[in-house]
Amino acid sequence: MKVKNIKLLIFDLDGVLINSKNNMSISWKILSKENKLNIHFREYFKKIELPIKQILSELGIKKNQNTLEKQYFRNSLKYKNKIKPYKHVYKILIKLQKKYLLSIVTSKRKKNSVIYTKQFFPKVKFSLICSPRKNIRSKPFPDQFNYTFKKLKVSAKNAIYVGDMVHDFTAAKRAKTNFILAKYGYLNKKIKTNYAIDNIKGLEKILKRF
């Protein structure tokens, strides 16, 4: 796909705008201990591309998923000081919003995503923050992208998604939109794409080509 006339920049949240691995580790360890799950964080993190209920299912935890989900995200909010925005992200977003619409597509719960973006990027206007919900499946399905394009009235070909994992790439491809790999993120070893960045500053350089 030839990239041109870009109007919308869509970002994954974890692993692209913020580094929340330490926060997730603490949140999961507390959850695991309190509920006697006996599952190490590394097993949870292997499936971090997925919504938490799906992660629980794949880890063999079928009961009390709603309660566990609430506990996990409550822990995440409690230890939000353990989340750090990646270097230069705030500054770059401020510059980019002068030219492009900005939005987020994430597997994280909407409430938490809104709180974190307001905390770390208070002067950035995200036109939409899209999390999975009823009738909007999570990545690798294209639902969140299709919803975003419709809501913001932007064509898929006029948008770019910046993500760091296989499901990000797959979902963008299925939505027929452009993709840039954030190589500094969490899981990207299996991804081969035309555009990649080592840090958020690289995004500016790529955008100058179009």
Encode pLDDT of 85-144 as tens digits.
Answer: 999 999 999 999 999 999 999 999 999 999 999 999 999 999 999 999 989 999 999 999
Helices 65-78, 21-34: crossing angle, 10 deg rounding? 130
Residue 143 CA, chain-centre distance (Å), reads 14
Assess whether 54 and 105 both reside in one domain.
no
* Single-letter amino acid, residue 3: V
Pick from 66, 120, 58, 95: nearest CA to 207: 95
Assess whether 61 and 157 both reside in one domain.
no
Residue range(s) defining the domain that contains residue 88: 8-19+84-207
Assess whether 103 and 190 both reside in one domain.
yes
Q: What is the pTM of this model?
A: 0.91
Spell out, as residue ranges, where the chain has pLDDT lower than 50. 1
